[in-house]
Amino acid sequence: MTAQLIDGNALSQQLRGEVARRAADLTAKGRQPGLAVILVGENPASQVYVRNKVKSCGDVGFHSVLEKYDASLTEAELLARIEALNQDPSIHGILVQLPLPAHIDDHKVIEAISPAKDVDGFHVASAGALMVGEVGFKACTPYGCMKMLESIGMADLRGKHAVVIGRSNIVGKPMAMMLLAANATVTVCHSGTADLAHHTRQADVIVAAVGKRNVLTADMVKPGAVVIDVGMNRNDEGKLCGDVDFAGIRDVAGWITPVPGGVGPMTITMLLVNTLEAAERAGL
């Protein structure tokens, strides 16, 4: 068996077309969606990501502002900027690019963003809304993974077993909640899991979100399973790769997401979706 690819670039293009249409409607009503992106420091990967976010905003007709600050910015200064953006009616979404420099408490910063503008979905209020099934912004990476499942006819996971590898607040935990909301039976594995392969071999859907190469190999995958790779690592040749052994697993899985071109572009697409929804909700 050769797994079919879930193409994040193609799916993103399709979803962004719909976002652009809805944004044009809002703009015509005098409410152009607006996103503020804050970058603190010189992390080279973060610089690429924020540039892509701002460019993507332009592509779908959003207003955007990129605020870049030196790594010496104080926590108090950052909190003051967020408060100003919370009050700015032209800004519907606020995003602080992570990671932040070590002297800034990222939890404090995320909690300073108004939940109504928390388009990253990282605020405790957003996480709580997801937990209890209320309206709130969903974290973009797991939300993108759910859209990828939907695109292959797996919106409803009743009777399916999903295994999430990783328990971070921004991917693993919200991913598990979203899979549960889609009726999957969910197992969350992590560094304290005794026998990872025992769990993954039973899974119909596996989401790998660890940040380490080759955490999942072909012998750990049930034939026909869906494998979603959230990882973003460099291999020995310096090339971008995910958390799973793509070449090996491709011969076993039914579906697999590539890196690059899989979950990454979907993360930015769902940020656009959340920003659009923030602008739509602002008019209600």
On whether the CB atoms of residues 37 and 53 are closer than 8 A, the answer is: yes
Query: Is 236 one of the annotated active-site residues of the chain?
Result: no
The token pair that represents 258 in the structure block: 């590539």
Q: Does 85 help bind ligand LMY7XDAE (rule: CB under 6 A)?
A: no
Query: SS3 for 56?
Result: helix
Q: Does 97 help bind ligand LMY7XDAE (rule: CB under 6 A)?
A: yes
Q: Does 121 help bind ligand LMY7XDAE (rule: CB under 6 A)?
A: no
Q: Annotated binding residue at 168?
A: yes
177-236 residues in contact with ligand LMY7XDAE (CB under 6 A) are 232
Residue among 107 and 198 whose Cβ is closer to ligand LMY7XDAE: 107
On whether the CB atoms of residues 161 and 184 are closer than 8 A, the answer is: yes
Q: Does 98 help bind ligand LMY7XDAE (rule: CB under 6 A)?
A: yes
Q: Does 12 help bind ligand LMY7XDAE (rule: CB under 6 A)?
A: no
Query: Is 219 one of the annotated active-site residues of the chain?
Result: no
Query: Is 53 one of the annotated active-site residues of the chain?
Result: yes
Among 257, 267, 269, 275, binds ligand LMY7XDAE (CB under 6 A): 267
Q: Does 120 help bind ligand LMY7XDAE (rule: CB under 6 A)?
A: yes
Q: Annotated binding residue at 213?
A: no
Catalytic one among 118, 120, 204, 243? 120
Nearest approach, Cβ of residue 119 and ligand LMY7XDAE (Å): 9
On whether the CB atoms of residues 236 and 203 are closer than 8 A, the answer is: no
Catalytic one among 25, 29, 32, 53? 53
Per DSSP, the residues of 130-181 read HHHT-S-PPPHHHHHHHHHHHHTT-S--TT-EEEEE---TTTHHHHHHHHHH
Distance CA 40, CA 162 (A): 36
Residue among 95 and 178 whose Cβ is closer to ligand LMY7XDAE: 95
Residue among 7 and 31 whose Cβ is closer to ligand LMY7XDAE: 7
Distance CA 3, CA 245 (A): 13
Q: Annotated binding residue at 254?
A: no
Distance CA 131, CA 101 (A): 29
Q: Is 131 exposed, middle or buried (0-12, 13-18, 19+ CB in 10 A)?
A: middle
- For residue 221, give the amino acid letter: V
Phi, psi of 260 (to 5 degrees): -80, 175
Among 140, 162, 189, 252, binds ligand LMY7XDAE (CB under 6 A): 140
Residue carrying structure tokens 């990783």: 166
Catalytic one among 97, 117, 160, 173? 97
Distance CA 101, CA 114 (A): 22
Site track for ligand LMY7XDAE across 141-180, x = CB under 6 A: x---------------------------------------
Containing H/E element for 270? helix 263-282
> Which residues are paired to 162 by β-bridges?
186, 205
Catalytic residues: 53, 97, 120
Task: Please give the annotated binding residues, written as ranges.
Answer: 166-168
Task: Please give the annotated binding residues for NADP(+), written as ranges.
Answer: 166-168
Binding site for ligand LMY7XDAE (CB under 6 A): 48-49, 95-98, 120, 140-141, 232, 240, 259-261, 264-265, 267-268
